Structure 1
Amino acid sequence: MPARVLKVHPADNVIVALRDLSAGEQIEFDGQTYVLPYAVGAKHKFVTEDRQPGDPIRMYGVLVGKATRPIQRGEPITTFNLKHDADRYGLDKKQPYAWLPPDVSRWQNRTFMGYHRADGSVGTRNYWLVVPLVFCENRNVLILKDAFERELGYAQPETYREQVHELLSLYRAGDLDVIKKMQPFVDASQNRTLPQPNPTKANRPFKNVDGIKFLTHEMGCGGTRQDSAYLGSLLAGFINNPNVAGATVLSLGCQHLQADTIENEIKRQNPKFNKPLLIFEQQAGTEYALMAQAVKETFLGLIQIDNVERQPAPLSALTIGLKCGGSDGFSGISANPVLGQLSDIVVGLGGKTVLAEFPELNGVEQELINRTPDTAKAQKFIDLMGSYSASAEAVGSGFDMNPSPGNIKDGLITDAIKSAGAAKKGGTAPVADVLDYAEPATTPGLNLLCTPGNDVEATTGMAGSGTNVILFTTGLGTPTGNPVCPVVKISTNTVLQRRMPDVIDFDSGPIIDGEQSIEQNADALLEYIVRLASGEEITQAERLGQDDFIPWKRGVSL
């Protein structure tokens, strides 16, 4: 029978409910009996001992909050009886750390079929990228998107357009009552065609080009020079991403982010850069001249990158982003530890993993400092965390305000609880490097990347740092994707996977149900990633055309 409760760490004074527990129920655990004075919903926690105001609550072995009123043994923790608190951290508290790598012998000789770049990196996709340096070029980017995607077979299915066409036909025929009585177009049982993947490669002229990706944004001018500089670094990172084979850049001409700036930043980040790069400036002539030239040169670029074919690559060529969003009370118990186990395997093989979301490392800073052997990098982490936290507090939104209503409803009562579970994605490996937003990940091992917790700003930052796969755990369901980096959605519970199968790619729910261990689930996930990286699978986000791109705007608009 599957377990009904779980204590995550021996030092914890809370127990997690894995199933809904009723008021008055007796729970036997670890030789103790707990009588629950109130019902405890699945994913929530009850205390193992009486707590008085100011007493600490510990989970995952760390301080996650303090009681604000008396809490009796067996009573659940809530926003009414608990407030966020976390242990202080610093270099003066740094402790020695020893890592025992997992056995990676089973994966040592495994390969995936990737696109090898001249700089030595390997892509899991072969994309052409179209980028505006300033928001003034968004319209032109979207015109190019419509033209190229429709003609070359990369456009999304027109299911919803067909639905509108059918409704319009009925309306014109005067059949308003028929429209009102129609059932929603939701499944195949109603003889409706659900959205399907993009047309197969057999229908495309460029068999080795996985897609043309078009970015739009609201930056590049009119804000601070700092924001323009960060945008330039981010766009350069996207162009340098191993999944990108070439790029078209549209510039107005007068904006803060100049064309030569982006060229210099690309080469600064990657001195071995050797991809086709096309830059067009609108103020040099008419819009028609700009667009006609961009269409022609981009088409020739597609012909060029279509000559690149997938070749075997070691798993050490993977750079995997680690992210969570729409988290729940199971995130830190199932899916996030699975990512941690997988991260340790990839690091053990010589690959790179990137753990983002600094607001969701609040409370586990000292553990990460202990795991950072380079003192200068540990200090960089401290400085980035401190300045970010201070900036958030300056606008009245400290890290303690991080949990969303959905997080709280599903058991993440304080930011420290959320963060301690989120940090499990980073496994146990030493921290190899600490990166600010848009800094490229070049050091094998676990990298810490300063990003917001915001799902798209974080995934955008990871792709800008060079990830070629992003793993994204979710307990509530999040449809986030990325233009250049496949985003694998991993459910923390099987109920979610069954409810949102068009969003979820992989299920870690069998861990909660007692059917798999974390290690077994991680092995299955890595097998999936090998197929995904080889182009044998596509993610649901890719299937839906979920190409989300939001740069982190750190300054203020002027």
Structure 2
Amino acid sequence: MTPSEKEQRVVNLTDGSPVVPLAECALLLRTDDDVAVTTRELKAGTRVLTAAGELVLPGDVPRGHKLAVRDVPAGSALHKYGQSIGLATTHIAAGAHVHTHNLGMDDSNRAYEFSTAQATLPAQSAPARTFQGYQRANGRFGTRNFIGVLTSVNCSASSAKMIAEQFRGMALDAFPNVDGVVALTHQSGCGLVTGSVGANTLVRTLRGYAQHPNFGGLVVLGLGCEMVPVQSLVEGLDVPTDTILKTLTIQDTGGVRATVRAGVDLIREMLPVLDARRRTPAPISEIVLGLNCGGSDGYSGITANPALGYASDRLVADGGTSILAETPEVFGAEHLLTRRAVSEDVGRKLLERIDWWKNYAQTGGGSLDNNPSPGNKAGGLTTILEKSLGAVAKAGQADLSAVYEYAEPVTERGLVFMDTPGYDPVSVTGIVAGGATVVCFTTGRGSVLGCRPTPSIKLATNTEMYERMAEDMDINCGRIVDGTAGLTEVGDEIFERIIAVASGERTVSEELDLGQDEFVPWQFGTVT
């Protein structure tokens, strides 16, 4: 402690201000952590009583930010969640605000273990739980019954939107069992190097949507001269035989106006057939749950993420599937996941993706520690290590059964990982392409992403944001910090909401008709 800091502490100790117990103003997540997370804004001079004694804050500490509970020497690792979240860039005195001004990246090599921390999940629900889904001819179950207009190239995007626009508002009132007509447009499809990673990724993503069980009907629309032609998307596709699949190209059909008329006619023919379909009981083991977070804050790893992890474990215990993603937001916590891998091969496949991302970021002139956004930092997160340790809480305690490439069809049950960017629309697009039929999306700053044809359940990490954006959030997980609900109680609420939404209950993003423009396939590679 510097002389000025000592002088400040003496002044504050004699000012007569009340002492606040740490538990009333901050959360200490592990007894050996160096920081606690504040649950309210603390002003300079606040006196905080900890197990080790009394602290006097030399400066303000915003709500959701980190408060040092012990001295941390410069260059030493600083711990939260029982793990290093960075190195102190200067001496950090107990009581100080810990953030970007005094905490930097910890690039120390991590020790990797494989299959050393596998979990035994609770027994399956008794009696066995079911949801009301749409059974497809190939045995899969959808949670929605959409018609899609899927574009092979950006050149057909406007036409696809014109077609879908004809079925908004009251146009579908006579067909209550059809959830909507959604145009899935993107910025690519031509100028790609055939067979390249970029081209293959786009095709895999489009094909994943084309065979998604939440689509009962599909119009695949192209221009006619693109490098990703319509036929390449439908040939050999594992589309259920009861999915009504039609194709159009603008050039062959006679231009935009003729194509829009033709597309509208095709969908009008589909509507009565799809409307005649009904939901039937299905085991919840048929639910594929996507796990994603966006606009994270200092509470994400304390409330919504672990509560979602608890719900995910319940689903996995009942034979269901959960997809964790966002590889840049696993970096720094990957050693925890390799311990949970069912085999060394699965663990090493995850590490291969981490290494790929390190090289990818370096080639672009950055590093993975560039990941926390300005909003993340304003919310209390400092390094990617801290963000990742909170993010992986979405995965609960289940074993890691498989690792997939972006938009690759998910076939393994249990908890799996998909390699995606951390950018929310791109990440969720890959998860849905892989087969997710419900998505749970945690947010602390207030992300409003939808992801048609899959419903997105929004989980708020803190009460203040939930109340401010109540019309955009489904569940307030901030009650865990408020002390009005326990983590398992909120986790059970999320689990029940997943089943209800899978059975047709609408989420707030669906009520707002969100999710069409958030279809954003991952683009990279040479464009000619």
**TM-score if structure 2 supplies the norm length?**
0.91
1:26-83 deviation line (CA, Å, top 9, x unaligned) = 3233454333222222211122322222110111122110011111112121211111
Tell me if the contact between 1:66 and 1:83 (Cα under 8 Å) persists in the aligned partners. Answer: yes
Shift in alpha-carbon separation, 1:289–1:375, aligned structure 2, 3 A: same
Matched residues in 1 for 2:200 and 2:227: separation?
9
Tell me if the contact between 2:130 and 2:281 (Cα under 8 Å) persists in the aligned partners. Answer: yes
Tell me if the contact between 1:372 and 1:432 (Cα under 8 Å) persists in the aligned partners. Answer: yes
The 5 Å alignment of 1:29-44 reads 29-30=50-51, 32-44=53-65
Matched residues in 2 for 1:400 and 1:56: separation?
16
Tell me if the contact between 1:319 and 1:466 (Cα under 8 Å) persists in the aligned partners. Answer: yes
Other structure's SS at 2:166 match: helix
1:279-310 deviation line (CA, Å, top 9, x unaligned) = 11223241254443332222222222222101
| Among 535, 551, 558, the residue aligned to 2:521 | 551
| Paired residue total | 502
Shift in alpha-carbon separation, 1:32–1:435, aligned structure 2, 3 A: farther
Other structure's SS at 2:470 match: coil
The 5 Å alignment of 1:495-514 reads 495-514=464-483
Shift in alpha-carbon separation, 1:510–1:90, aligned structure 2, 3 A: same
The 5 Å alignment of 1:330-341 reads 330-341=299-310
| Among 259, 282, 286, the residue aligned to 2:230 | 259
The 5 Å alignment of 1:383-394 reads 383-394=352-363
Tell me if the contact between 1:14 and 1:48 (Cα under 8 Å) persists in the aligned partners. Answer: yes
Equivalent residue letter for 2:372? P
1:6-37 deviation line (CA, Å, top 9, x unaligned) = 12123422111112223232323345433322
Q: Does 1:344 align with 2:365?
A: no
Tell me if the contact between 1:247 and 1:278 (Cα under 8 Å) persists in the aligned partners. Answer: yes
Tell me if the contact between 1:492 and 1:509 (Cα under 8 Å) persists in the aligned partners. Answer: yes
Matched residues in 1 for 2:314 and 2:50: separation?
32
Matched residues in 2 for 1:367 and 1:285: separation?
54
The 5 Å alignment of 1:39-78 reads 39-78=60-99
Matched residues in 1 for 2:106 and 2:212: separation?
38
Tell me if the contact between 2:125 and 2:318 (Cα under 8 Å) persists in the aligned partners. Answer: no
Shift in alpha-carbon separation, 1:115–1:472, aligned structure 2, 3 A: same
Aligned to 1:356: 325
Per-residue deviation, 1:461: 1.0
Matched residues in 2 for 1:18 and 1:489: separation?
22
Per-residue deviation, 1:450: 0.8
Aligned to 2:396: 427
Equivalent residue letter for 1:282? I
Tell me if the contact between 2:114 and 2:344 (Cα under 8 Å) persists in the aligned partners. Answer: no
Matched residues in 2 for 1:439 and 1:32: separation?
53
Matched residues in 2 for 1:378 and 1:11: separation?
28
Matched residues in 2 for 1:393 and 1:265: separation?
38
Aligned to 2:156: 137
Aligned to 1:491: 460
| Among 282, 286, 296, the residue aligned to 2:250 | 282
Tell me if the contact between 2:121 and 2:317 (Cα under 8 Å) persists in the aligned partners. Answer: yes
Aligned to 1:114: 133
Matched residues in 2 for 1:102 and 1:228: separation?
43
Aligned-CA RMSD value: 1.9
Aligned to 2:103: 82
Tell me if the contact between 1:44 and 1:329 (Cα under 8 Å) persists in the aligned partners. Answer: yes
Equivalent residue letter for 1:147? Q
Matched residues in 2 for 1:492 and 1:384: separation?
28
Shift in alpha-carbon separation, 1:86–1:470, aligned structure 2, 3 A: farther
Other structure's SS at 2:36 match: strand
Aligned to 2:337: 368
Shift in alpha-carbon separation, 1:110–1:408, aligned structure 2, 3 A: same
Per-residue deviation, 1:273: 5.8
Matched residues in 2 for 1:265 and 1:343: separation?
33
Per-residue deviation, 1:375: 2.0
Per-residue deviation, 1:527: 1.8
Matched residues in 1 for 2:236 and 2:227: separation?
14
Shift in alpha-carbon separation, 1:105–1:147, aligned structure 2, 3 A: closer
Aligned to 1:526: 495
Tell me if the contact between 2:314 and 2:495 (Cα under 8 Å) persists in the aligned partners. Answer: no
Aligned to 1:148: 167
Matched residues in 1 for 2:317 and 2:524: separation?
35
Per-residue deviation, 1:452: 0.9
| Among 10, 14, 27, the residue aligned to 1:6 | 27
Per-residue deviation, 1:86: 5.0
The 5 Å alignment of 1:83-98 reads 83-89=104-110, 93-94=113-114, 96-98=116-118
Tell me if the contact between 1:87 and 1:363 (Cα under 8 Å) persists in the aligned partners. Answer: no
Equivalent residue letter for 1:142? K
Matched residues in 2 for 1:501 and 1:539: separation?
12
Per-residue deviation, 1:411: 0.6
Equivalent residue letter for 1:514? G
Matched residues in 2 for 1:9 and 1:541: separation?
36
Matched residues in 2 for 1:376 and 1:27: separation?
48
1:238-297 deviation line (CA, Å, top 9, x unaligned) = 122221112100122221112232123633xx6x66522111122324125444333222
Matched residues in 2 for 1:405 and 1:64: separation?
18
1:370-406 deviation line (CA, Å, top 9, x unaligned) = 1112222222111111112211111112110111111
Matched residues in 2 for 1:101 and 1:109: separation?
16
Per-residue deviation, 1:224: 3.7
| Among 174, 192, 212, the residue aligned to 1:241 | 212
Aligned to 2:10: none
Other structure's SS at 2:480 match: helix
Other structure's SS at 1:266 match: coil
Q: Which runs of 5+ in 1 are unaligned?
A: 154-203
Tell me if the contact between 1:341 and 1:522 (Cα under 8 Å) persists in the aligned partners. Answer: yes
Matched residues in 1 for 2:329 and 2:474: separation?
24
The 5 Å alignment of 1:92-491 reads 93-94=113-114, 96-105=116-125, 108-150=127-169, 152-153=171-172, 204-225=173-194, 226=196, 227-264=198-235, 266-267=237-238, 274-287=242-255, 288-491=257-460
Tell me if the contact between 1:229 and 1:257 (Cα under 8 Å) persists in the aligned partners. Answer: no
Q: Which runs of 5+ in 2 are unaligned?
A: 1-20
Matched residues in 2 for 1:514 and 1:87: separation?
36
Matched residues in 1 for 2:28 and 2:526: separation?
44
Shift in alpha-carbon separation, 1:469–1:86, aligned structure 2, 3 A: farther
Matched residues in 2 for 1:123 and 1:87: separation?
45
**TM-score if structure 1 supplies the norm length?**
0.86
